Chains A and B, each alone.
Chain A
Amino acid sequence: MGVIYLDEDGKSVVNQDECVECFTCYRVLRNEGYKPWFVKVLRKGLSLLRLGYLAEVDVCPTGALTPPELKWPRNLRAQFSDPSTVHPGTGVPGRGTDEIKTNDVTGRLRKGDAGLVVEIGRPGIGAYFRDIEKIAMELAKLKPHFEKENPVTQLMVDPESGKMRDDILNEKVLSAIIEMKIRQERVHEFFHALEKIQKEVDTVISVGIASRCLPDGTLPHEEWVRKAGYALSPNGKTNIGLGRPLFKEE
């Protein structure tokens, strides 16, 4: 994120607007445990001799960073950025959702469904909810089914339009996943919408597509993606179907 930088005085500063509260700095920074006065005196002495101390990047000599107590809506940043923070909407740590990982027992994706995951801000750039809203509103025009158990859907004031809560639009997160499904034969409409909206946001978007396999084990969405003129990755995720009881479609 490039959130921690040195100011003109050589002191480390946290850019609070850009910080996504991923808590990585608290988790990985080594605290050398020196007293602040000692470090200040040492640095002053070195500067008199025109010397500087270049510490390793993952070292904080005094343990100066302390985790803040986050309140709404800033606590959303941690919920979507810190993999150890349990999201209240899903009950699991991180911003992820089950997607196809439990499709064998949930039946979230059924015959003819194309599951679409649009992860905004990944990899490594981050995203403001105002950009997430733009994409959600464009995709909402397709009249998809937004997954109810998904943390982004839960922040929509109107899933019909994709409109998000106004009080969260200036919050930035490491990434957020819009998760929805449409019928497979409409996949080309999804690509059309994404082609249009991708030019209007200043972040990256990682996109995935999933479906339930046909009885012979083939993935029906492959044909629709190729017909639309797009390429599929050689790798991906496979639910091998060992969950029980197996979800049965009527």
Chain B
Amino acid sequence: MTNTLHRQGTPESLKHDYVIFAHTAKGITREGSASKLREFMRICLKYHPENIGESKQGNILQDDIDIHRLISNLSDGAVASAVFTDLDTLQKVIEELIRANLGISINISGLLDEVQTCCRKAGLTRHSGEHSLGFWGARDRLPEREILE
């Protein structure tokens, strides 16, 4: 699922999938955010993410792109994200983001309890959280579970 909220799987199968992304709010943090988003991506890149990219320009796994050029081309309000597969690295990224004090909203998609523990270890209390309540409606039209996962 491109909407990571509804990624399917067991806690075991989901435990190596943490997507960290920056988001800006129109009229509050979006204007003038390009340099902060670049710094966010540089910090993520330093910790060797499994994947990294931006919604308009693509990502290093799927596209033939120069990540440094992608970072320099980021504009205000870009949706920048990176994927990490272990919590120790994720914690280091969070700690560096706290020190950087960029002022843009940072979100993590992944196992909620693990992310909360990670935040606590980094000295943060999470602000807000969202769960999936699953699929409703004409579920018989969905493909089998293996494909959804």
Footprint of B on A, CB under 8 Å? 83-84, 90-94, 98-106, 109, 115, 117, 119-120, 122-125, 194, 198, 201-213, 215-217, 219, 221-222, 225, 230-245
**Chain A contact residues: helix, strand, loop or mixed:** loop
The size bracket of the interface on B is 35 or more
**Residue contact A242 to B129, C-beta cutoff 8 Å:** no
Interface string of B89-111 (1 = CB under 8 A from A): 00000100110011111111111
Chain A residue numbers with a CB within 8 Å of B55 are: 83, 93-94
| Interface residue? B25 (CB, 8 A) | yes
Partner of A225, one of B106, B131, B136: B131
Interface string of B30-65 (1 = CB under 8 A from A): 000000000000000000000000011000000000
Chain B residue numbers with a CB within 8 Å of A230 are: 133
Chain A residue numbers with a CB within 8 Å of B70 are: none
Best-buried of B24, B77, B132, B141 by chain A (most CB within 10 Å):
B132
**Residue contact B129 to A239, C-beta cutoff 8 Å:** yes
**Residue contact B112 to A238, C-beta cutoff 8 Å:** yes
Chain B residue numbers with a CB within 8 Å of A201 are: 137-138
Chain B residue numbers with a CB within 8 Å of A92 are: 26, 77
**Chain B contact residues: helix, strand, loop or mixed:** mixed
Given A91-B26, A104-B127, A205-B137, A238:B132 Cβ within 8 A: no
**Residue contact A215 to B131, C-beta cutoff 8 Å:** no
Q: Please name the 3 residue pairs, one residue from A and one from B, whose CB atoms are nearest each other, closest first.
A: A241-B127, A210-B130, A244-B103
Partner of A115, one of B108, B116, B130, B137: B130
In the complex, the chain B residue whose C-beta lies closest to that of A212 is B128
Q: Can you list 14 pairs linking A and B with CB atoms under 8 Å apart?
A: A93-B55, A101-B107, A102-B28, A105-B25, A206-B135, A207-B135, A208-B131, A233-B133, A234-B111, A238-B109, A238-B126, A240-B106, A243-B105, A244-B29
**Residue contact A123 to B6, C-beta cutoff 8 Å:** yes
Chain B residue numbers with a CB within 8 Å of A106 are: 25, 28
Partner of B142, one of A99, A204, A212, A236: A204
CA distance A240 to B93 in the complex (A): 12
- For the complex formed, measure the closest distance between the CB of B32 and the CB atoms of chain A, giving whole angstroms: 13
Chain B residue numbers with a CB within 8 Å of A236 are: 5, 109, 112, 129-132
Best-buried of A105, A123, A235 by chain B (most CB within 10 Å):
A235
Best-buried of B102, B104, B105, B116 by chain A (most CB within 10 Å):
B105
**Residue contact B3 to A122, C-beta cutoff 8 Å:** yes
Chain B residue numbers with a CB within 8 Å of A222 are: 131
CA distance A64 to B143 in the complex (A): 30
- For the complex formed, measure the closest distance between the CB of A91 and the CB atoms of chain B, giving whole angstroms: 6
CA distance A230 to B101 in the complex (A): 38
| Interface residue? B121 (CB, 8 A) | no
Partner of A219, one of B129, B133, B136: B129
In the complex, the chain B residue whose C-beta lies closest to that of A206 is B6
**Residue contact A213 to B127, C-beta cutoff 8 Å:** yes
**Residue contact B103 to A242, C-beta cutoff 8 Å:** yes
